[in-house]
């Protein structure tokens, strides 16, 4: 029987977890984050929201150590829940990973056009009043094709790419933050909150699941660890991804609020770059930020493509969806059919253009939280000690609260009709996929 290639080390799992988590939201929609909470609301929102994920990270570390299965949440829930729950959990996690891919395919065109404004030409059509340009589409399709090919060819190629782009992003991040902060002032911070303190923090916490989704992608690659790999490495990679993610987001939000009067810049395109350029008074800092953003985009796109394809592959192998996606390439030892399906799906969805960017984050938040809730609930049933069950219960409660924040109508930032529509379409597609697999 052909199995997935076993090539990954601890550092590879860290770059998969953190690299899948942090994309380009810190550049593309920083204004949305600050308008939600202000500098202090944003920092507290990501710090609190990230800390709430630590018990969930603990649960995932325990589960992947006991069951190193690419199916992740599907495998865990299958141990204690009916098949329907296992399928629903897996289908939601596929959404959480897959939906990031067209997001990044669209974002790369936006970043490229900031560098080369002439790319904002040859408008094809508009969606929700936002134009879709031909050069943007070509760039997005090119990147999608490249990453699909990379993952089709082998996990080692994908891991090397992930490592270089992850550490490149972190290196450039440290450079532009250090330079920018040296020119900033605390006088730029006010207003610290955009609403009341509680509402400001709450509005930011609501989007944390989407922007912190990725640490659990470590478990999707569990079957591809090197033969000498020690299971404790999974735990280390997951916790490092969460902690470095919290630090990254809180630092970049605080830095943008510190380097320039942020309230004046919320209407600017790529507010982060504009704020640092104003503080430093030189264009080169923008080039550094855009280079960091492009590297970050490449790694988060690649990481989510890895996670989504492994999830679909594992569901196909279990007969939850079409069994053909559960095939392993004889030579490359990759889930080749699943990789191609995710690549084609990304290419199709990116034609929705810029209109998908903000609504997609809310749908992704709910999908991630649903998967976390299910994994923690499964571990609660399996945990041998009271302490472990309490941690699992806390993780499940966090997941449930994050879901309720999106679906309860009177909570600020709840789902709007377009987001319900997107979720409904995905559920309907899941029902069709399950029915096809059964028949």
pLDDT band of 357, cuts 50, 70, 90: low
Residues 181-197 have a mean pLDDT of 91
Q: What CA–CA distance (Å, rounded) separates 302 from 17?
A: 11
Q: What CA–CA distance (Å, rounded) separates 99 from 291?
A: 23
Q: What CA–CA distance (Å, rounded) separates 243 from 173?
A: 16
% residues pLDDT > 70 (the chain):
97
Q: For 294-312, give the secondary structure using H, E and C.
A: HHHHHHHHHHHHHHHHHHH
**For 45-78, how does the pLDDT look when each residue is reduced to its tens digit (9 = 90+)?**
999 999 999 999 999 999 999 999 999 999 999 9
Helix H or strand E encompassing 255: helix 232-259
**pLDDT above 90 (res 10):** yes
- Give the CATH number of domain 10-438: 1.20.1740.10
pLDDT of residue 406: 85
**For 234-255, how does the pLDDT look when each residue is reduced to its tens digit (9 = 90+)?**
999 999 999 999 999 999 999 9
pLDDT band of 352, cuts 50, 70, 90: confident
Q: What CA–CA distance (Å, rounded) separates 38 from 45?
A: 10
pLDDT of residue 353: 76
Instruction: Specify whether the CB–CB gap between 23 and 302 falls below 8 A.
Output: no
Average pLDDT value for the chain: 91
Q: What CA–CA distance (Å, rounded) separates 134 from 119?
A: 8
pLDDT band of 356, cuts 50, 70, 90: low
pLDDT of residue 273: 93
- Which alpha helices (H) appear in 318-385, and where do they start and end? 336-349, 357-382
pLDDT of residue 414: 81
Residue 385, helix vs strand vs coil: coil
Domain spans, the chain = 10-438
| Distant-in-sequence, close-in-space partners of 228: CB < 8 Å, separation ≥ 6 | none
**For 379-412, how does the pLDDT look when each residue is reduced to its tens digit (9 = 90+)?**
999 988 999 999 999 999 999 988 998 888 877 7
Residues 100-129 have a mean pLDDT of 88
Q: Is this prediction's pTM over 0.85?
A: yes
| Residue 433 CB neighbours (<10 A) | 20
Residues 123-143 have a mean pLDDT of 90
Residues 253-280 have a mean pLDDT of 91
Helix H or strand E encompassing 123: strand 123-127
pLDDT of residue 1: 63
Q: What CA–CA distance (Å, rounded) separates 352 from 347?
A: 10
Q: What's CA 220's distance to the chain center, in Å?
A: 14
Label the pairing between strands 130-133 and 123-127: antiparallel
% residues pLDDT > 90 (the chain):
68
């Amino acid at each position: 029987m052909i199995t997935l290639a076993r090539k990954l080390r601890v550092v590879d799992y860290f770059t998969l977890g953190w690299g899948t988590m942090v994309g380009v939201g810190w550049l593309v929609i920083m204004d949305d984050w600050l308008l939600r909470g202000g500098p202090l609301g944003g920092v507290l929102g990501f710090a609190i929201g990230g800390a709430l994920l630590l018990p969930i990270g603990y649960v995932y570390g325990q589960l992947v150590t006991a069951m190193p299965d690419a199916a992740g949440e599907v495998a865990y829930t299958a141990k204690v829940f009916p098949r329907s729950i296992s399928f629903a959990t897996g289908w939601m996690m596929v959404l959480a990973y897959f939906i990031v891919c067209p997001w990044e395919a669209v974002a790369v065109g936006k970043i490229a056009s900031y560098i080369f404004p002439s790319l904002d030409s040859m408008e094809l059509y508009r969606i929700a009043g936002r134009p879709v340009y031909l050069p943007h589409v070509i760039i997005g399709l090119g990147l999608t094709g490249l990453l699909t090919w990379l993952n089709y060819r082998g996990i080692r190629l994908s891991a090397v790419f992930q490592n270089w782009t992850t550490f490149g992003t972190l290196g450039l991040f440290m450079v532009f933050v250090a330079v920018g902060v040296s020119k900033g002032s605390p006088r730029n911070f006010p207003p610290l909150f955009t609403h009341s303190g509680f509402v400001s923090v709450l509005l930011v916490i609501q989007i944390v699941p989407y922007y912190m989704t990725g640490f659990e992608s470590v478990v999707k690659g569990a079957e591809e660890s090197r033969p000498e790999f020690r299971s404790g490495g999974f735990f280390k990679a997951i916790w490092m991804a969460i902690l470095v993610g919290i630090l990254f987001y809180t630092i970049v939000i605080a830095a943008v609020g510190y380097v320039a009067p942020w309230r004046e810049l919320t209407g600017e395109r790529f507010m982060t770059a504009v704020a640092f350029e104003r503080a430093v008074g030189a264009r080169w800092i923008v080039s550094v930020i855009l280079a960091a953003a492009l590297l970050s985009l490449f790694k988060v796109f690649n990481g989510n493509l890895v996670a989504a394809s492994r999830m679909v592959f594992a569901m196909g192998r279990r007969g939850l969806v079409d069994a053909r996606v559960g095939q392993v390439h004889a030579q490359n030892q990759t889930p080749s059919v699943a990789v191609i399906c995710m690549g084609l799906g990304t290419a199709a969805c990116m034609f929705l253009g810029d209109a998908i960017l903000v609504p997609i984050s809310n749908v992704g938040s709910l999908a991630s939280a649903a998967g976390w809730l299910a994994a923690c609930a499964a571990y609660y049933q399996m945990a041998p000690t009271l302490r472990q069950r309490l941690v699992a219960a806390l993780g499940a409660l966090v997941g449930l609260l994050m879901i309720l924040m999106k679906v309860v109508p009177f909570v600020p930032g709840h789902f709007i009709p377009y987001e319900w529509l997107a979720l409904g379409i995905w559920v309907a597609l899941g029902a069709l996929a399950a029915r096809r697999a059964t028949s």
